[in-house]
Chains A and B, each alone.
Chain A
Amino acid sequence: MNSSDNSYAQANQTLYNHNQAKDNCGFGLITQLDGIQSHQLIQTSITALIRMTHRGAISSDGLTGDGCGLQIQLSDNFFQNTAKELNFNIGSRYAIGQIFLSQNKTKRVFARQILEEELEKETLSIAGWRIVPVDTSTCGEVAKKSQPNIQQVFIRAPDGWSKHDLERRLFIARRRAADRIKNDQDYYVVSLSCLVIVYKGLVMPKYLSKFYKDLSDERMQSAICLFHQRFSTNTAPLWKYAQPFRFLAHNGEINTINANRNWSIARQNKLYSPLLPDLPKLSHLVNQNGSDSSSLDNMLEVLLAGGMDIFRALRLLIPPAWSKQKNMDADLRAFHEFNSMHMEPWDGPAGIVMSNGTQIACTLDRNGLRPARYVITKDRILTVASEIGVWDYDEADVIEKDRVGPGEMLAADTSTGQIWRTNKIDDMLKNRYPYLEWLRENTIKLKSNSLVEEIAAKKFIDEKLAELPVFEKMFNVSIEEKEQVIRVLANDSQEATSSMGDDTPVAVLSQKQRNLFDYFRQQFAQVTNPPIDPLRETSVMSLETCFGREHNVFQEANGLAHRVIVNEPVVNFAKYLQLKKLNQTHYQFQTLSMSYPLSDSLEDALTRLCEKAIELVQKGCVILHLTDRILSKETLPIQSVLATGAIHQALIRNGLRCDTNIFVETGTTRDSHHFAVLLGVGATAIYPYLSMQLINQMYEDDLLETDLLSARKNYLKGINKGLLKIMSKMGISTVASYRSAQLFEAVGLDRSICNKCFPDIQSRISGATFKDLERDAKLLALNAWRPHVKPSRQGQLKYVHGGEYHCYNPDVVTLLQKAVNSGEYSDYQKYSEVVNNRNIATIRDMFKLKINDPNHLLDKSSNSDAGNVDKIESILKRFDSAGMSIGALSPEAHESLAVAMNTIGGRSNSGEGGEDPTRFNSLKNSKIKQVASGRFGVSAQYLASAEVLQIKVAQGAKPGEGGQLPGAKVTLEIAKLRNATPGVTLISPPPHHDIYSIEDLAQLIFDLKQVNPRALISVKLVSGPGVGTIAAGVAKAYADMITIAGHDGGTGASPLTSVKYAGTPWELGLSEAHQALVENGLRDRICLQVDGGLKTGLDVVKGAILGADSFGFGTGPMVALGCKFLRICHLNNCATGIATQNKILRDNHFSGLPEKVINYFQFVALEVQNLLKKVGVNSVDKLIGRVDLLEIIEGQTSKQEHLDLQVILNSSKRPNNEMAHYKNKRNTPFDIGKLNQKILQDYKESNGASSKKTYQIKNYDRSVGASLSGYLGLLENENESEHAIKQKYIINFKGVAGQSFGVWNHSLLTLNLTGDANDYVGKGMSGGQINIRPNENIQYVASRGAIIGNTCLYGATGGELFAGGQAGERFAVRNSGAISCVEGVGDHGCEYMTGGTVVVLGPVGENFAAGMTGGTAIILDIRERLQRKVNLEHVEVFELATPECEDYIDLLKDIIEKHIISTNSPWAKKISDNFEHYLNYFMLVIPKESSSLSQFIPKTDKLITNLRVVK
């Protein structure tokens, strides 16, 4: 490419990438278990699809769906007849291909020809092509534009071939054809099979059978229907991305997709099946972009075509959590362990239904993050779907009803009519081969050896550690890092907590030499997939790492289990030595030094290193040991991450990666992020010799609180914990699926570096080149060998003189405080000058505002309204304060902020800590109410008091993690607001347990809009790659406002590595989101807000130009209130009385008058106004997207010079149409919530008097009750005590309730439901009662199956829930006051519970009561398995049948009686009638005694105290 082309390409590059579309959905299957085909079944499936329309999304044209489809059996009846009509001779053995072809005739003809050629190579003959009859009138404009030409190819096979033979040949022909048809984006084989056919497209479910006339043809019959309804984040979805794919339909997202795709390339050489001789010749096994689900489908079809059965294939791809499951059978574990040596898990939130035409299966991932409910009726029809009640079967016909749990599998064979449940499948699999024996014979587990460790602890680099400073300086270890990172890990095995976020420049902008790892920003899950919880749900996670040569997955044999297993990828010295000394036949160990002569260039050195690595592996090296331990003045070390990445890639390219393992011995890795990056770019395991030596030195220097061996152990333990956390941020459970996944964004690395070393890591603004990095390394080396230069203090965490620049350095803080105290604009100007003229510290500092001649522009230009610049008041309306909870802040500071924001006409944000209802109708009301994952204090009344409801999906300082409030700050007052236990640290779950995917978010938004229709719904996202895609999806989920937070957000308390390494600058995310919204035609209905380090009017103006309508300020107003940036918020001792609950500090030392904040914002607004005048634009609205007003300035360093910032400006460009900014349009959902409207109207008409009326309810009636609850909350807020409504109101329902039944239920409301309910029953309920009972005269045993779905009672603060059956996963998570009785719960029940009482009259799933710090759970444990199911970290378990528990027994009796009255449960009755017998099986689960409790509560709960005395 010549240079002009290059610059052209650059000039048009933008940030938002359409290909990043993510999808989620509703899915299901219906099958007649005995294989009796009918047309009826197809019609029922389409009904089911229609009933799940709300789980999909609709395009802006109102007609185009995001895609839906059916996979059905190839209907002989239909196709034989059709062939006859068309005179196609297909014989008895035939296959049909459903093909999307290009509308372009040449391309179409070409594609057909190639496919025919490839099919004929397999000795198949083409009987003919049929144009599939479609009715395009059902399509929306968007769908029509991209609609392919749809044809079916009829293929005749020689008689006598088995169907499986035919399938394999079709597969290989199709894959070969695909490799040849490269330049046709439309060509896509929907299905090509003799067993199944798929009909799918971008139509709404209700039009599917109209569009495909075949589907409404009575002759079309099937006994199996898979169906799928898609929600894509992209508003211009593609036809081929609709599901089902050829084998499966998937609800969720494969979080591990990057690693899976990479390893599929690396492993291709290793796969061999005599059935598929052409396999190695295919260009790739799975597609490398496009939908994650389709890649999974690809892998599955390779495995199946290669001869694997669906059971092993699915268990191999999506294994349950096995490595930490102590309850698991040893043979079964061995089966999974053997599998794990061949394939990393394809994990994600995944609900999968699949079929090969005769067998069907449904499986859930290990976390069970997607719902799957099933029903079997008398006529042997099995329905599995995301929701229950998707078609109207007769309740009396139901013979079984339940759900598929995490890691479980449900399968059936329609040829035999057999149903296979998890246990049966597992038993069959584990007994096929003696896996356990194989493992015992051939697998070595590396163990720590304390003797060896003791030797290592003494000396390694050299005895006196005299050379240590050279290493420290060479690898840029700062004193600060030693103290704040390594020492803390060594002492506490836990990384340090910090606060106030990161206010330093990103690495590429820094004037200092920064570690290469600093350029990598961790990716994190938001909205389309959830983070998982490494604290409470660690049981599903694993760091197990395998050494040894990989073998063929298709072969299961003894000799293929030669593996060395270590528990963690970060090894200690003992394991390092053991690795070195393994049997060299199987584990040849070769060392490669990562250093190169000074005369060489870094880039060439890397190339040479890769060549050497390839040579070694070709010669049989199995453990490739890379080291940077040999330093000399004549050489420079290659950064371990570059070396590892480049070698990993080179080995993959050469098909060698799976023959070897990359073991890195390095001084560069010190904190958990460093290790994560190395693993992410391909390292197998790491030995951090320098960190260990530094710990030795600290011990010598008497700086540790523990002995040396423990310190070394602690450090590694802490690092491993950190790794789990980083993996969990992306929702990844196992390190095998994290390795090589490259889940980072490079901010400021030259693209050529990424291309060479980690091609999947995006570097959107390019940046530092190999030369720049080399220059840094040389500088470090120069000082390293200079004894007089001390290791630097760097000052990246805290300001130090001469260290890294801090945006809130002492000068800035003091000047701002002076200005707000004096109220003089001239003082403010001194502050803003210091900020606006600082050295380049943020990306926006590299954009200079083009100031036009200040005197004439606005006044003289004819077309602008002369001088009619936005008023200060209207500018102030655009300012919000960022979410800071009461709890993190003192009530005084929180109120002061609210008063200030309300006074200036902006909005303050409650944060996630609730708010005292007395504030709701006053100047102290926070107009923005936050809904975060902890759901603290979120009640109907709280929600009703808001102008904006903000869903905090992620937080700038620590995306992928929940908020935390240290115990010291949980005073009696705060605990009351949050319904929590005083003195106990509150950690919000990393995910919202009701948002695991985009359709879940849509549901939460729907909930909120039902409860408070007046409020704007805002979603807070953190800037990261793909945030544009997510923003578009969020807009499609009907949010009204999106906040893009930068990585530099402040926080009350946050782990150090999260502050430093996650999230990206908002400049990137904002412009990407702006572009995505503009391109998708959604910009005018979304108010786009930016948040992160905004300090002055210039920041606001630049933010507006880059696309923001509104501006969030966090730290600025804090400093105005008096915050001195002490970074001690987490210690509750804030000397300025702001971030503390201490009475003395609040009363005597808080001086944060609202006036100071008002002054600050008025200054900022005034500066904005002045700047508007200077640039000659009269309103902020008109400024949005005016990138022509910015110019990119020259960088101050070579690295800055190499940045490509034009992409940001290109992305933010103002469109020519009307949709350039937010126009106060409401983003109204298509679902108007009919039933809710009716209930509300009836309530108003009856004046609050209950009627006996029963409402019919179906699964599409969602959030039922919310509108009335919200209305009652509003009345409460408005009327206060005067007309207080007191009358209880009872509503009866019959049918299947949709999601969120009784969400935020108001205390006056009782909902009675006869039937079933879906997910989120009683979510956030704040009072009243919800009773759910099965129909009368049912045939199934209600207590043995699920009657309500997942995540019920999540964040409930009060009320009562009785359900006459079992509940799904995550029951009563974060319950803080509700009382409930159910007859069984799934995994993770009562997680994070802080109050209330839960009675379970049946089995509980894994990980019960994890992180439960308050409340009571009473479990009927008939099978005596509870001890193994409970997570004992925070709770203890007692037998109830002891005299000390008398009070609890009374409580239990009460609840059971109520349960019987409310649900009529026969099971409960039986228990009640024989109470004395059952009492012996009841167990009590309560939180452990906490020493910090006593200081807050004068008298501890009598019940508990009594109990403990006895114990």
Chain B
Amino acid sequence: MKKVSKTTCESSKNIDILKDPLNYISISSQRPSKVIAESRKTNFNEIYIKPSDEHIKKQSSRCLDCGNPYCEWKCPLHNIIPNWLELSKNGQFEKAAELMHETNPLPEICGRVCPQDRLCEQACTLETGFGAVTIGDVEKQISDKALANNWRPDLSNVKKLNKKVAVIGAGPAGIGCAELLARNGVDVTVYDRYPEIGGLLTFGIPGFKLEKEVIRKRRKFLEDIGITFKLNVEVGNDIKIEDIQKAFDSVFLGLGCYTSLDGELKGKKSKGVINALDYLIGNVYQQEKFNIKTIQSTDQYNYKNLKGKNVLVLGGGDTAMDCVRSAVRQNASKVTCVYRRDKHSMPGSPREVENAIEEGVEFIFNHQPTEILSNNNIVNGVNFDLASDDTSKKNNSNIIDADVVIIAFGFAASPSSWFSDIGLRTKANGLLDMSKGPLTNIENLFAGGDMVSGADLVVTAIAQGRDAATEILNSFG
């Protein structure tokens, strides 16, 4: 732990450039290089190549440490970005990692899956004119490094509170809550119906964005700081919520949003129409050889191999990108993404769109799907209305052929049946009706994440989990 900075900074030539207040001009913003499209298409491995430490330091040193840290302001978790960039610049990677964990239990994951180009990096002062600091990459590299070195926070001073909290759902919200509680001396047990933690992080996001090994490392970390995971356990099915409530001082719910929106399209029941999430989860199950018996409707997540298929993906968000790029990797004959508005309006990360284009995905914009066409209940195309600025040219339509149509329109709430048993209030749209902050209408029952605010970003869910944890801690005195 001693004097890391002095020894690691010794390469004296770099000291000057790292300290030069104008180095954000001389050092250009450089994102990590990618495996070339041709070879990365052949597998589900992550596509970014690990950069050198020197590179990380240099990129970190470009931060201006603005009076108005726009990055931090834009980040839903309000990560203390300039501060850990400063540490990273000085080569104090472990300290940087420690600081990242102050606000975020999953920095290595956020570094991979956050749309930084819509959040911190877009807000970065340098984004206009100079190229943003590569915040996401630094976050990922540094936290990977820390985890690889088996770094753990020093909890030796933490006193046990002798309080027990159950967290239901091991997704970002649940982990956000559990981690903060564990760090503060609470005994935490996390229940999840899936065989691995992470929720949609693990099952909804393909390996080329987030390799599952990362999740396993994180689980190890969380177990090491004292969290107990009970996986493959579905509350309401395998264990009664009332029993949990009885056994724990407080309970946190982070169940997420799993109901796929289908846009009420005509023909959506045709064979060959797949919900994006089912497709992605099935893929992960197959790749990771998870046991799927715990999931009720087993065929929902069956592996779908799209090899040789003409695949049409409807939607323009990050999930749509995950689908098209998965399909490419399954050797689909043709993969097309159709979005109802223009490229600029796409809700997801532009970088993902670029990656998809590199990998050979075709994009069609300003097409509003109206009907899925089929022959013998087997999909053969989709009919679109063409959006146009010129109102006189309405009703222009276009049919695009397809063997498989993946619908990636987003997700709605999926309230469990036991909600009503314990009197947990929901709103008309199925989202929880909260009473005060992260507290539900039931005493000692907290909630956060997508089930409260609807489908949203990973960081938003984490933030809510952490807010709940703080409230729970406050309730303990």
Contacts and interface: CB of A to CB of B under 8 A. Distances in A.
A1132 B20 CA distance: 11
Given A799-B67, A813-B68, A1133-B21, A1124 B2 contact: no
7 smallest A-B Cβ distances: which pairs? A1127-B67, A801-B78, A788-B184, A1133-B21, A788-B473, A1126-B66, A810-B73
Given A702-B2, A787-B185, A799 B64 contact: no
Contact of B130 (A499, A1124, A1131, A1135): A1135
Contacts of A1149: 129-130
A1124 B3 contact: no
Contact of A1135 (B2, B102, B129, B473): B129
A1182 to B, nearest CB: 38
Contacts of B183: 788
B80 interface: yes
A1128 B67 contact: yes
B64 A702 contact: no
13 contacts: A483-B83, A702-B2, A702-B92, A702-B95, A788-B470, A798-B69, A799-B68, A1124-B66, A1124-B68, A1126-B64, A1128-B67, A1133-B64, A1135-B125
Nearest to B20: A1133
Interface in A1116-1141: 1124-1128, 1131-1133, 1135
B191 interface: no
Contacts of B159: 787
Interface of B: 1-5, 21-22, 24-25, 64-70, 72-73, 78, 80, 83, 92, 95, 102, 123, 125-126, 129-130, 157-159, 180, 183-185, 470, 473-474, 477
B68 A1135 contact: no
B11 to A, nearest CB: 17
Interface string A803-843: 00010111001000000000000000000000000000000
A1144 interface: yes
Nearest to A790: B102
B69 A800 contact: yes
A513 interface: no
A701 B72 CA distance: 24
A1145 B183 CA distance: 45
Interface in A783-797: 786-788, 790, 793
Contacts of A1142: 22
A217 B95 CA distance: 88
Contact of A787 (B67, B80, B130, B158): B158
B68 A786 contact: no
Interface string A674-718: 000000000000000000000000000110000000000000000
Nearest to A1127: B67
A1145 B477 CA distance: 53
A786 B2 CA distance: 29
A1149 B25 CA distance: 11
A1124 B128 CA distance: 11
Most chain B CB atoms below 10 A, which of A500, A801, A1128: A801
A1128 B24 contact: no
B21 A799 contact: no
A1148 interface: yes
A794 to B, nearest CB: 13
Contact of A801 (B72, B83, B470): B72
B473 A1128 contact: no
A1443 interface: no
B72 A800 contact: yes
Nearest to B102: A790
Interface in A754-789: 786-788
A464 interface: yes
A1127 to B, nearest CB: 3
A808 B68 contact: yes
Given A464-B157, A1128-B65, A1144-B25, A702 B4 contact: yes
A30 B45 CA distance: 98
B73 A801 contact: yes
A1124 B67 CA distance: 8
Contacts of A466: 157
Contacts of A790: 102
B5 A1126 contact: no
Contact of A786 (B67, B123, B157, B473): B473
A1127 B474 CA distance: 36
Contacts of B129: 1135, 1148-1149
B184 to A, nearest CB: 4
B154 to A, nearest CB: 11
Contacts of A1148: 129
B21 A1131 contact: yes
Interface residues of A, number: 37
A802 interface: yes
Contacts of B70: 810, 1124
Given A702-B3, A790-B102, A810-B73, A1133 B22 contact: yes
Contacts of B73: 799, 801, 809-810
A799 B69 contact: yes
A1135 B3 CA distance: 33
A1083 B444 CA distance: 65
Contacts of A801: 72-73, 78
A786 B159 CA distance: 11
Nearest to B76: A801
Contacts of B126: 1135
Contacts of B180: 788
A802 B103 CA distance: 13
A1125 B68 CA distance: 6
B184 A787 contact: yes
Interface string A470-484: 000000000000010
Interface in A1227-1247: none
Interface in A408-449: none
A1106 B184 CA distance: 52
Nearest to B157: A466
B277 to A, nearest CB: 32
B406 to A, nearest CB: 37
Most chain B CB atoms below 10 A, which of A787, A809, A1145: A787
A1132 to B, nearest CB: 7
B66 A1127 contact: yes
Contacts of A1124: 66, 68, 70, 125
Given A702-B3, A787-B159, A810-B70, 9 more contacts: A500-B67, A701-B95, A702-B1, A786-B473, A787-B158, A799-B68, A800-B78, A810-B68, A1142-B22
Contacts of A483: 83
A1125 B66 CA distance: 7
A466 to B, nearest CB: 5
A1132 B68 contact: no
Contacts of A464: 157
A420 B21 CA distance: 60
B83 to A, nearest CB: 8
B66 A1128 contact: yes
Most chain A CB atoms below 10 A, which of B1, B24, B69: B69
A1124 B125 CA distance: 8
Contacts of A1145: 22, 25
Interface in A537-570: none
Contacts of B24: 1133, 1135
A483 B69 CA distance: 16
Contacts of A702: 1-5, 92, 95
Contacts of A810: 68, 70, 73, 123
Nearest to A1145: B25
A229 to B, nearest CB: 50
Contacts of B66: 798, 1124-1128
A790 B102 CA distance: 9
A492 to B, nearest CB: 14
Nearest to B66: A1126
A853 to B, nearest CB: 40
A786 B477 contact: yes
Contacts of A1132: 21-22
Contacts of A787: 158-159, 184-185
